[in-house]
Structure 1
Amino acid sequence: MLNLSSAARSRIRRAGQTRTSLWRKGRQDSYRSGWRDGYRLGASEHAVRLGAVMPAVRPLHIMFVATGKGFPYSPLDEAVSVTLRAMVARLTVTGKETAVHDAAALRPDLVLVLDGLEFDPARVDEIRALGLRTAVWFTDDPYYTDITTVLAPHFDDVFTLELSCVEHYRSLGCQRVHHLPLGVHPAAFRPLNAPQDRRRDICFVGSAYWNRVDFFDGMADYLAGKNMWISGIWWERLRNFRRLAPRIELNKWMDPKETALTYNGAKIVINLHRSPHDAEFNRNGAGLHAVSPNPRTFEISACAALQLTDVRDGIASCYVPGVEIETYASADELKAKIEYYLANEEHRQAIALRGLYRTMRDHTYANRLDRMLSLLFEQ
Structure 2
Amino acid sequence: MIVDTRPNLVLCAFRSGFDTYREAFEALGYEVHMDVWRPTPEQLARAALCLLNVYEGVRMPWATLQLKRRLRRACVPLIGLDRDAPWHMGIHVRRLKLFEWLKLLDIYATHTLQPTYAFAPVKHYNANAVWVSHFNLHGRTLQEMRNPGFFRWDVSFVGNMDGVRYREHAERQRFLAALAPALKALGLRVLFRSSGGMSEQEQIDVIQRSVVNLNYRSSCDHRSRAGVEMSWGLPERCYGVPARGGFLLSDERRHAADDFVPGREWASYRDFDDCMARVQYFLSHFAETRAVAEAAHARVMREHTYGRRAKRLVDLSAAWRERLYNSRS
* TM bucket normalised to smaller: 0.7 to 0.9
The alignment status of 1:324 with 2:292, answered yes or no, reads: no
Task: Flag the 1:256–1:185 CA change in 2: closer, same or farther, 3 A.
Answer: farther
In the TM superposition, what whole-angstrom CA distance separates every residue of 1:25-70 from its partner, at most 9, and x where no partner exists? xxxxxxxxxxxxxxxxxxxxxxxxxxxxxxxxx85321123342xx
Q: Give aligned-pair identity as a percent.
A: 19
Counterpart CA distance in 1 for 2:87 and 2:106 is: 22
Equivalent in the alignment of 2:121: 175
Cα 1:203–1:67 shift into 2, 3 Å: farther
341-350 or 316-325: bigger deviation: 341-350
Tell me by how many angstroms 1:310 deviates. Answer: 0.9
- Cα distance, 1:267 vs. partner? 1.4
5+ residue gaps, structure 2, are 1-5, 141-148, 162-168, 321-329
Q: CA deviation at 1:349?
A: 1.3
Q: Deviations over 1:125-171 (max 9, x none)?
A: 21222224321101211112635444352222221112114xx333x
Measure the CA separation in 1 of the matches of 2:150 and 2:247. 19
The alignment partner of 2:37 has SS state of helix
Q: 1:340 to 1:84 in 2, by over 3 A?
A: same
Does 2:79 match 1:135? yes
Give the alignment of 1:83-122 within 5 angstroms.
83-88=24-29, 90-95=30-35, 99-107=36-44, 108-117=47-56, 120-122=60-62
1:126 maps onto 2:90 in alignment: no
SS in 2 for 1:304: coil
Contact 2:213 2:241 in 1 (8 A): yes
8 Å contact from structure 1 (residues 114, 139) kept in 2: no
Q: 1:156 aligns with which of 75, 100, 106?
A: 106
Structure 1 residue runs of 5 or longer lacking an equivalent are 1-57, 233-248
| Aligned-pair CA distance for 1:186 | 1.1
TM-score by length of 1: 0.67
Q: Secondary structure at the match of 1:292?
A: coil
Name the counterpart of 1:203: 156
Note if 1:213 corresponds to 2:173.
Answer: yes
> 2 CA distance for matches of 1:150 and 1:82?
32
- Aligned to 1:164, the other structure's residue is in SS state coil
1:81 partnered with 2:22: yes
Tell me what 1:298 maps to: 239
SS at match of 1:141: coil
8 Å CA contact 1:201, 1:226 repeated in 2: yes
TM-score, with length taken from structure 2: 0.76
Of the two, which has the highest radius of gyration? Answer: 1
Which letter does structure 2 place at the counterpart of 1:101?
A: R
Tell me how far apart the structure 2 counterparts of residues 198 and 123 of structure 1 sit (CA, whole Å).
Answer: 52
